[in-house]
Structure 1
Amino acid sequence: MQLLLDLDSEVPIYQQIRDRVVEAIADGALEPGDSLPSTRQCAVDLAINFHTVNKAYDLLRREGFIRVNRRSGAVVHPDVRGATAGPGAGPDWERRLRTLLAEAVVRGVPDEEVAGCVRATLDGFAAGGGDRG
């Protein structure tokens, strides 16, 4: 698994890691049961502090995307496409979506363009190659 991060972004690195893993699950690059690199290995690969990776993995675990244990390490939750999300997961993603849509409105992006982008992204995930651009 290769994670592309923007170290100059205002988005915290742990959040970027979390987001890239969720996107990889959505587009099929990571399947239920697939292993993720250890926090230390991921940190070495990305040249960042392992505590940052640990924070991202903990967030993914709390949200039900991965399972972490001493024997197998971090793996994509076997029921990731099922109802594994913890309490409040629905309102949280809806809140984040609302913020993104608000940004589009403030920037003057036409509704049709937003809807088209959403449809293309969902179609991309369904086809196993979600548009990350």
Structure 2
Amino acid sequence: MILELDTASAVPIYVQLRNQIVMGIGRGELKNGENLPTVRQLAHDAGINAMTVNKAYGILREEGFIEIDRRHGARVAARADRKGIYRERLEEELELLAAESRARGIEKEDFLSMCGQVFDQLFLTREVAER
């Protein structure tokens, strides 16, 4: 997985890193149980501070995307660990996105179509990665 971090972005580097790892998992580029680079290695490869990587890994662990073991390092967690509380958070975020879309004049059908396209594209990218 190739990371593209934008140091000029208003989005903090640790958030960009977290988001790209989540996207890699969602697209199937990172498989369940797959080892991630060590904090030091990823920091070196990306040219960022190790504390930034450590913060991103900590968030990913709290969210259930990765597991961290002192002997084996960080690895992608099993999908079953991510289902619980997430649904409630997803509904809250979708509610906000729907409200913003409506306030900006986007109709329900267009909003749902965009959601479907994004979701389908994610799985299409995943299928290509699995080949």
- TM-score normalised over the length of structure 2: 0.80
In the alignment, the residues of structure 2 paired with residue 87 and residue 35 of structure 1 have an alpha-carbon distance, to the nearest angstrom, of: 23
> Residue 86 of structure 2 corresponds to which residue in structure 1?
89
After superposition, what is the alpha-carbon deviation per residue over 1:100-127, rounded to whole angstroms, capped at 9, x for unaligned? 4444344444444332221112112223
Larger mean CA deviation between 68-77 and 100-109 belongs to 100-109
Q: Paired residues, what number? A: 127
> Residue 115 of structure 2 corresponds to which residue in structure 1?
118
In the alignment, the residues of structure 1 paired with residue 12 and residue 98 of structure 2 have an alpha-carbon distance, to the nearest angstrom, of: 20
> Residue 76 of structure 1 corresponds to which residue in structure 2?
76
Over 3 Å counting, the alpha-carbon distance change for 1:18 and 1:55 in structure 2 is same
Give the deviation of 1:10 after TM superposition.
2.2
> Residue 17 of structure 1 corresponds to which residue in structure 2?
17
Over 3 Å counting, the alpha-carbon distance change for 1:112 and 1:5 in structure 2 is farther
What are the ranges of 5 or more consecutive residues in structure 1 without an aligned counterpart? none
Q: Which amino acid in structure 1 is aligned with residue 51 of structure 2?
A: H
Instruction: Map residues 38-57 of structure 1 onto 2, 5 A cutoff.
Output: 38-57=38-57
What are the ranges of 5 or more consecutive residues in structure 2 without an aligned counterpart? none
In the alignment, the residues of structure 1 paired with residue 110 and residue 46 of structure 2 have an alpha-carbon distance, to the nearest angstrom, of: 34
Do the aligned residues in 2 keep the contact of 1:63 with 1:86 (CA within 8 Å)? Answer: no
**Structure 1 segments (4+ residues) deviating >4 Å:** none
In the alignment, the residues of structure 1 paired with residue 105 and residue 98 of structure 2 have an alpha-carbon distance, to the nearest angstrom, of: 11
Provide the identity percentage. Answer: 39
Give the deviation of 1:26 after TM superposition.
0.9
After superposition, what is the alpha-carbon deviation per residue over 1:66-88, rounded to whole angstroms, capped at 9, x for unaligned? 111122111101x22x2x13863
- Let me know the Cα RMSD of the aligned residues: 2.3
